[in-house]
Amino acid sequence: MPEGDTVWHTAATLRDHLAGLTLTRCDIRVPQFATVDLTGQTVDEVFSRGKHLFMRVGRASIHSHLKMDGSWRVGKRPVPVDHRARIILEADTIRAVGVDLGVLEILDRGHDADAVAHLGPDLLGPDWDADTAAANLAAQPDRPIAEALLDQRVLAGVGNVYCNELCFVTGHLPTAPVSAISDPRRLVSRARDMLWINRFRWNRCTTGDTRAGRQLWVYGRAGQTCRRCGTRIAYDDTAERVAYWCPACQV
């Protein structure tokens, strides 16, 4: 599933291409909103909130969530369109196509924030508040760390990649209780740093080494040697989210 940095980058790319332009085509391929036509309206804003993306057009707001397989493709026409397209927008020479979007809905612009009112502080948003995020994290001390980090009501933007990487760099097993974290504020601040540094990249890096195959500490590296100690990376794929950890570095 795309994480907060990917959605932020997607919003920035759409904004660079469409902001200030008037739509000349609006083709929504979701039955509930198929009759909505925003042609002739101006794209005023494009922004992300956690893993949610909003495009404010006229009095409407296009709200999307990529879920597992979704993406936005944007560029000068022709951008490919196939049966997976859920929305096609065109303005001037630009075409944006929302593909396999997990959520696509048209909201009243004045109330679009209601769709994300349940989210915790956005790691990449202007509302980021480390103290609030840390308090949210510590609120349920018996909860597994990984479960808490993935709860968007605690802090918005962490997905499974960052969850596993954060557990590694802080030395905790993903299954350890939140009470094992001695400094919750430091952990959420580290989460923010990771996403902030990667917000302009499609291929994220948490190790500081951007060479191919060396960008991540543990995620996706089951059976490979730990970059710190040489122990084989363990993993568990029996739960909803796959967990990766170093049995020596995370205890």
- Active-site residues: which are they? 2-3, 51, 241
192: left (phi over 0), alpha (psi -120 to 50) or beta: alpha
- Residues 91/102, Cβ–Cβ less than 8 Å: no
The secondary structure element, H or E, covering residue 132 is helix 130-138
Tokens of residue 89, six digits: 């927008």
Amino acid at 208: G
Give the separation between CA 61 and CA 45, rounded to whole angstroms: 9
Q: Write phi, then psi, for 43 (nearest 5 degrees).
A: -80, 110
Amino acid at 179: S
Give the separation between CA 208 and CA 217, rounded to whole angstroms: 10
- Residues 92/10, Cβ–Cβ less than 8 Å: no
Give the separation between CA 61 and CA 46, rounded to whole angstroms: 9
- 60-65: strand order across its sheet: 43-49, 52-57, 60-65, 103-108
- Residues 52/45, Cβ–Cβ less than 8 Å: no
